[in-house]
């Protein structure tokens, strides 16, 4: 191993995060459920299929335009269950609070969490609180787990992706990353920039109702759409073609990317998912998505081809080509 | 998005490509064009421009990424400074992962407890200095003429406000002497230069006169696809007609005389000195150091830096790649042991580095 200490970059969802998981956690915790490395583990208990997930939320700033750490925790958990075909039912939440954290902020976070849970129709059924000394945490960290029941008869998995599948995204990408960067950098740009943090279980339920042929779904969170596509191409061993012009991006997100030198493809989302389905089902799925408030800007962004080596190639807006790979490094503003 | 879409319009791009093709057909030899600036390298990769060009146009990348040309010695000094107790070491983010002689980096230093702070603008150092009066703030002063005036402004402000706990470790460089070094290099055979857009916003067009004087074509070019293609077309026209001059394609950002106010500020705080460039060696009067009046803001005068044994990593091709003599694929380490996750040389670290661009986009 090239590192003797954890670097911040080990947490960016890119190459080092993958190395951390595959070289340290997987070999020791080895089992067929974990090895799938999907957003939730899918488990069979008796005659029922369940999905089970966990996530930790350490976002800074805790409050950002369009949400806070509490709504994010609920949405993230709900989405991890939903993209595996589960109907989210129950959640746990563990709070790690830093000495001195304002009660007013905590109250706002709890209120938003309960509202988010109500919208997603999940119940927070167990929890835990710990308080650590000032300096031992950054205000507030939240850990959650979630359980959902899988009623969808098909299997949703990266392994099910087939040549000629089309790829659909449910809306504009990079909104969450841009909103957080803007809040963090305190940039005064004139237009509003809101996180897209949202529960996708309603939208996904509608999609699965109209198509029994969805092959795979993933939420495009940390690392953005680019990282998810690169990861899927590698793990499914397919060639993914993406058309830059067809990827929905808001103008204000593009603007902040141009100023700071970011690529919207690698900015985080908290209410975006991609799905792979046969071309024949794409129209009806899109139609269904367009009717839902979290799918209004849904679009087909690319397709899958057979390959011996997993690769993603983007057709650029001017007709050129470039590769998309897992991101490395922290998101940093450019130097000149 | 207004002011961006116009320069990425497929119809405009197609029309320019047609003109390039027509002009390129009239030239019988392979045309070698060097883009000096790292932002051009990045944009050419990001938009996939290389594949759209005719076969007899060869684009090579030059020494215009400030992170990439920082010498191993300067990286080692930065690592030493960041490790001093009571220091907040402020840096632009691109420097974080650049490995020094022993493989250490600012990123790894930070994980070991050093206070390394990524800033997006040098003036954040003023806030840091005021908020931490008991600490020493060191800014890694890196960049070409585009960035340096902002550092000069911070030094001038600190001097005026009598802020005493701030200093600059200056590895700033200036572009024209590096171009002179390239023009004098017998191994290089460059027909035309895409000159950097934003450096030129500061220094103007006259600074590049040595390029046409040496018989090469030159055009100051913007960073959008249509800019770059128009720049290439202008170079081809100069090469075809034999009339070499410093053209300004990026006229919306560059005045012939440059930004005299910013340059005056730079020249009132900094003075030129010899500097070591990775790949190009020591180039006379190509670096910037603080003038005597501002000596108290010069990190190297404030701190005793011991003699550090620095060495470039053996086998790393960054030096030749920065001179345009080799392509990343010619380097034995490229994609094998040198990857963005484990960069051996600086060209793999910076997002504008040639190796990183080749790894990511080709």
Is 50 exceeded by the pLDDT of residue A1?
no
Residues in chain A: 336
Domain ranges of chain B: 72-174+259-302
Averaged pLDDT, A112-133: 97
At residue B258, the 3 state secondary structure works out as: coil
Averaged pLDDT, A302-329: 91
Q: List, in sequence order, every residue forming a beta bridge with B139; answer none if it has no partner.
A: B90, B168
Query: Where does the pLDDT of residue A189 fall: very low under 50, low under 70, confident under 90, or very high at 90 and above?
Result: low
Question: HSE-up of A133 (CA within 13 Å, CB side)?
Answer: 0
Averaged pLDDT, A246-254: 94
B311 touching A (Cβ < 8 Å): no
Q: Token pair 């107790």 is at which residue?
A: B85
Sign of CA dihedral A43, A45, A49, A50: negative
Domain ranges of chain A: 31-150, 158-324
Q: How confident is the model at residue B120, as a pLDDT?
A: 84
Evaluate whether A116 touches A110 at the Cβ level (below 8 Å). Answer: no
Q: List, in sequence order, every residue forming a beta bridge with A275; answer none if it has no partner.
A: A168, A217
Q: Token pair 């969802």 is at which residue?
A: A13
> How far A317 CA lies from chain B's nearest CA (Å)?
7
Residues of A in contact with B6 (CB under 8 A): none
- Is the Cβ pair B120, A260 closer than 8 Å? yes
Residues of B in contact with A255 (CB under 8 A): 1
Sign of CA dihedral B298, B299, B300, B301: positive
Evaluate whether A77 touches A91 at the Cβ level (below 8 Å). Answer: yes
B110 touching A (Cβ < 8 Å): yes
Evaluate whether B227 touches B250 at the Cβ level (below 8 Å). Answer: yes
Looking at domain A158-324, its CATH superfamily turns out to be PurM-like C-terminal domain (3.90.650.10)
Q: How confident is the model at residue A88, as a pLDDT?
A: 97
Q: Tell me the CA end-to-end span of chain A in Å, nearest whole number.
A: 33
CA distance B202 to A97: 49
CA distance B124 to B144: 19
In terms of phi and psi (left: phi > 0; alpha: psi -120 to 50; beta: otherwise), the region of B53 is: beta
Residue B1 CB burial class (10 angstroms; 0-12, 13-18, ≥19)? middle
- Is the Cβ pair B112, A5 closer than 8 Å? yes
Architecture of the domain spanning B72-174+259-302: 3-Layer(aba) Sandwich (3.40)
CA distance B126 to B146: 20
Question: HSE-up of A251 (CA within 13 Å, CB side)?
Answer: 9
> How far B243 CA lies from chain A's nearest CA (Å)?
30
* CB interface of A with B, residues 88-107, below 8 Å: none
A-B C-beta contacts closer than 8 Å: 114
Whole-number percent of chain A with pLDDT over 70:
95
Query: Where does the pLDDT of residue A334 fall: very low under 50, low under 70, confident under 90, or very high at 90 and above?
Result: low
pLDDT digits (tens, 9 = 90+) for B225-253: 999 999 999 999 999 999 999 999 999 99
Q: How confident is the model at residue B259, as a pLDDT?
A: 97
- State which H helix or E strand residue B58 sits in: strand B57-64
**Residue spans of chain B under pLDDT 50:** none
Sign of CA dihedral B248, B251, B253, B257: positive
Residues of B in contact with A314 (CB under 8 A): 48
A334 touching B (Cβ < 8 Å): yes
In terms of phi and psi (left: phi > 0; alpha: psi -120 to 50; beta: otherwise), the region of B116 is: beta
Is 60 exceeded by the pLDDT of residue A131?
yes
Q: Helices A279-291 and A201-210, interaxial angle, to 10°?
A: 140
B241 touching A (Cβ < 8 Å): no
Closest CA to B67 of A263, A322, A329: A329
Q: Which two tokens stand for residue B247?
A: 């053209």
pLDDT digits (tens, 9 = 90+) for B78-101: 999 999 999 999 999 889 988 898
Q: How confident is the model at residue A191, as a pLDDT?
A: 66
In terms of phi and psi (left: phi > 0; alpha: psi -120 to 50; beta: otherwise), the region of A313 is: beta
List strand residue ranges (DSSP E) for chain A, in order: 41-45, 48-57, 63-64, 67-68, 86-98, 123-132, 140-150, 166-169, 216-219, 238-243, 273-277, 299-306, 311-315, 321-324
Averaged pLDDT, A159-173: 97
Is 60 exceeded by the pLDDT of residue A239?
yes
- Is the Cβ pair B66, A335 closer than 8 Å? yes
- Is the Cβ pair A258, B198 closer than 8 Å? no
Sign of CA dihedral A17, A19, A24, A26: positive
Residues of B in contact with A254 (CB under 8 A): 1, 4
Averaged pLDDT, A115-128: 97
pLDDT digits (tens, 9 = 90+) for A199-217: 999 999 999 999 999 999 9
A31-150, what's its fold?
60s Ribosomal Protein L30; Chain: A; (3.30.1330)
Q: What is the DSSP string of A105-165?
A: HHHHHHHHHHHHHHHHT-EEEEEEEEEE-TTSSSSEEEEEEEEEEE--SS---GGG--TT-
Averaged pLDDT, A69-76: 96
- State which H helix or E strand residue B273 sits in: strand B270-277
CA distance B27 to B239: 8
At residue A101, the 3 state secondary structure works out as: coil
A133 touching B (Cβ < 8 Å): no
Nearest to A319 among B45, B52, B142 (CB): B52
Closest CA to B198 of B230, B165, B168, B227: B227
Query: Where does the pLDDT of residue A18 fall: very low under 50, low under 70, confident under 90, or very high at 90 and above?
Result: confident
Is 60 exceeded by the pLDDT of residue A262?
yes
Evaluate whether A88 touches A189 at the Cβ level (below 8 Å). Answer: no
Closest CA to A79 of A238, A275, A285, A250: A275
On whether the pTM is more than 0.90, the answer is no
Among A19-33, A140-154, B250-264, B327-341, the range scoring the smallest mean pLDDT is: B327-341
CA distance A22 to A38: 13
- Is the Cβ pair B111, A8 closer than 8 Å? yes
């Amino acid at each position: 191993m090239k590192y003797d200490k954890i670097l911040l970059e080990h947490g960016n969802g890119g190459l080092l995060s993958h190395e951390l998981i595959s070289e340290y956690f997987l070999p020791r915790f080895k089992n067929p459920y974990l090895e799938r490395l999907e957003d939730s583990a899918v488990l069979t208990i008796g005659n029922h299929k369940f999905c089970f997930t966990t996530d930790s939320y350490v976002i800074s700033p805790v409050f950002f335009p369009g949400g806070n750490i509490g709504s994010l925790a609920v949405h993230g958990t709900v989405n991890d269950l939903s993209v595996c075909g589960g109907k989210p039912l129950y959640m746990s939440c563990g709070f790690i609070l830093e000495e001195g954290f304002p009660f007013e902020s905590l109250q706002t976070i709890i209120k938003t969490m309960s509202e988010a849970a109500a919208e997603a129709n999940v119940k927070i059924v167990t929890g835990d609180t710990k308080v650590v000394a000032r300096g031992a945490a950054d205000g507030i960290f939240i850990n959650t787990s979630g359980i959902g029941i899988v009623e969808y008869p098909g299997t949703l998995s990266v392994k099910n992706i087939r040549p000629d599948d089309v790829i659909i995204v449910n809306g504009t990408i990079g909104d969450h990353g841009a909103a957080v960067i803007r809040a963090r950098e305190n940039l005064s740009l004139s237009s509003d920039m809101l996180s897209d943090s949202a529960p996708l279980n309603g939208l996904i339920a509608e999609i699965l109702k109209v198509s029994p042929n969805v092959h795979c779904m993933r939420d495009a969170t940390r690392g953005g759409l680019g990282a998810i596509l690169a990861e899927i191409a590698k793990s499914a061993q397919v060639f993914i073609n993406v058309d830059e012009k067809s990827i929905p991006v808001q103008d204000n997100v593009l603007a902040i990317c141009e100023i700071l030198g970011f690529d919207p493809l690698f900015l985080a989302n908290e209410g975006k998912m991609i799905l792979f389905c046969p071309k024949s089902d794409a129209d009806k799925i899109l139609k269904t998505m367009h009717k839902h408030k979290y799918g209004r800007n849904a679009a087909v962004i690319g397709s899958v081809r057979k390959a011996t080596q997993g690769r993603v190639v983007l057709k650029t807006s001017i007709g050129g080509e470039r590769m998309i790979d897992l991101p490395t490094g922290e998101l940093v503003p450019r130097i000149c | 998005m207004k002011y961006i879409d116009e320069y990425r319009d497929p119809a405009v791009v197609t029309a320019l490509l047609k003109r390039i093709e027509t002009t390129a057909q009239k030239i019988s030899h392979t045309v070698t064009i060097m883009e000096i600036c790292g932002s051009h390298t990045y944009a050419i990769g990001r938009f996939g421009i290389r594949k759209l060009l005719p076969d007899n146009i060869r684009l090579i990348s030059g020494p215009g990424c400030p992170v990439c040309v920082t010498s191993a010695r300067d990286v080692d000094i930065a690592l030493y400074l960041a490790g001093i107790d009571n220091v907040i070491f402020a840096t632009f983010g691109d420097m974080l992962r650049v490995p020094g002689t022993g493989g250490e980096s600012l990123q790894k230093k930070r994980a070991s407890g050093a206070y390394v702070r990524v800033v997006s603008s040098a003036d954040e150092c003023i806030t840091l200095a005021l908020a931490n009066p008991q600490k020493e703030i060191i800014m890694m002063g890196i960049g070409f003429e585009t960035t340096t005036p902002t550092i000069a402004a911070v030094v001038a402000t600190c001097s005026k406000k009598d802020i005493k706990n701030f200093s600059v470790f200056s590895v700033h460089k200036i572009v024209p002497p590096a171009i002179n070094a390239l023009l004098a290099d017998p191994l290089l055979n460059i027909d035309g230069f895409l000159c950097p857009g934003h450096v030129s916003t500061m220094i103007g067009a006259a600074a590049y006169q040595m390029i046409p004087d040496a018989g090469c074509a030159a055009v100051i070019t913007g960073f959008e696809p249509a800019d770059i293609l128009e720049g290439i077309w202008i170079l081809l026209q100069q090469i075809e007609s034999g009339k070499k001059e410093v053209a300004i394609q990026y006229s919306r950002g560059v005045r012939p005389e440059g930004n005299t106010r910013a340059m005056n500020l730079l020249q009132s705080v900094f003075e030129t000195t010899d500097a070591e460039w990775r790949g190009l060696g020591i180039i006379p009067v190509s670096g910037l150091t603080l003038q005597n009046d501002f000596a108290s803001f010069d990190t190297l005068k404030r701190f005793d830096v011991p003699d550090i044994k620095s060495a470039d990593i053996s086998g790393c091709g960054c030096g030749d790649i920065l001179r345009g003599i080799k392509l990343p694929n010619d380097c034995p380490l490229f994609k094998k042991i040198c990857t963005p996750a484990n960069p051996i040389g600086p060209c793999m670290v910076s997002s504008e580095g040639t190796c990183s661009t080749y790894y990511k986009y080709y």
